[in-house]
Structure 1
């Protein structure tokens, strides 16, 4: 019976857990936490999308809002000091970042979605690689972005609210130290 329990525990996804060495690299600012925004049902954005008008965008559901708050709690458990928080300018990313309750997010246009021709994926990815071509940031850093950006950088198709701890300097594909399910 105990062996069956252990097998079942190994098969279940563990939300929010990563190898301690990956978290340590993030705490030491030698890695970034790259995250897809939390749950915003649907795909892409509606016709009439306007970046400055959240009413024209796909937005977080109440579950997505709760996921963002749980992310904030998890990150505060991992690091009690200051955290740099960058976000796409899309409302669902900014809302995810703000609801974490860590620090006001800094909008970073290279994290904006390029789904359905809205941006230039190659240029944005190259600009992100250049910005984080350093071996260490000043403090632990979180990037909140979209599925297409996450996939372009890592080769991983993340679920809503999923994250990866990726090593610095950034490479393409990024060196993924850990994947973290939505808490």
Structure 2
């Protein structure tokens, strides 16, 4: 009976509005201190997958951000600055919609990281590419504040979470499989 009482008290405490906010606050602290990374799904780019004539270096052959997506990306930049993150290491998929999301945040130079590239059309690469992403991120200097911009399939493979366009996940470092999600941040 006492165990059930303690469990009920714990559930009641977790239901309080401040309990969830404290967790998100701790996740932002971990990100600022380099003990976590922010992994974003690119901002809104209408459609699904890529057109049949997709070419990596040619944005005219890809799905691209619409005005809503560009606005979301700029709001992400402002949200990060408001959280005290103004010059993170910014790594992105080479797909235009991911790269443009990172650039529109206006937080500094964007570095391409092929391990963040979409494998939507090549699902057989999912396991190896996800393992490569974990290895690459974990090889970066501890304490580095990082923002990663990728795609739904990549994020789901790493975390088990199906994020909305423009949604962010704060993940504990070092990354593991599945990654430990500290907080889900809706598109601003």
TM-score of the two chains, using structure 1 as the length reference: 0.87
Which position in structure 1 is the counterpart of 2:30?
25
Output one character per residue of 1:13-56: Cα deviation in whole Å (capped at 9) or x when no partner. xxxx9711000000000000001000001000001100000000
Q: Provide the rounded CA distance (Å) in 2 between the counterparts of 1:148 and 1:76.
A: 28
Offset, 1:150: 0.4
Contact 2:72-2:166 within 8 A present in 1 as well: yes
Equivalent residue for 2:138, pick from 103, 123, 133: 133
User: Which of the two has higher C-alpha Rg?
Assistant: 2
Gapped runs of 5+ residues in structure 2? 1-16
Bigger CA drift: 32-41 or 125-134? 125-134
1:44 partnered with 2:46? no
Q: Provide the rounded CA distance (Å) in 2 between the counterparts of 1:108 and 1:100.
A: 17
1:167-178 to 2 correspondences below 5 Å: 167-178=172-183
- Structure 1 stretches of 4+ with a deviation exceeding 2 A read 132-139
Q: Provide the rounded CA distance (Å) in 1 between the counterparts of 2:171 and 2:35.
A: 9
RMSD of aligned residue pairs (Cα, Å): 1.9
Count how many residue pairs are aligned between Structure 1 and Structure 2.
Answer: 168
Q: Provide the rounded CA distance (Å) in 2 between the counterparts of 1:64 and 1:18.
A: 27
Q: Provide the rounded CA distance (Å) in 2 between the counterparts of 1:116 and 1:143.
A: 21
Output one character per residue of 1:87-146: Cα deviation in whole Å (capped at 9) or x when no partner. 000000000000000011100000000002177111110011112336963431000000
Equivalent residue for 1:59, pick from 54, 58, 64: 64
> Secondary structure in 1 aligned to 2:94?
coil
Gapped runs of 5+ residues in structure 1? 1-9, 11-16
Contact 1:135-1:169 within 8 A present in 2 as well: no
TM-score of the two chains, using structure 2 as the length reference: 0.84
Q: Provide the rounded CA distance (Å) in 1 between the counterparts of 2:125 and 2:67.
A: 31
Structure 1 residues 18 and 97, CA gap change in structure 2 (3 angstroms): farther
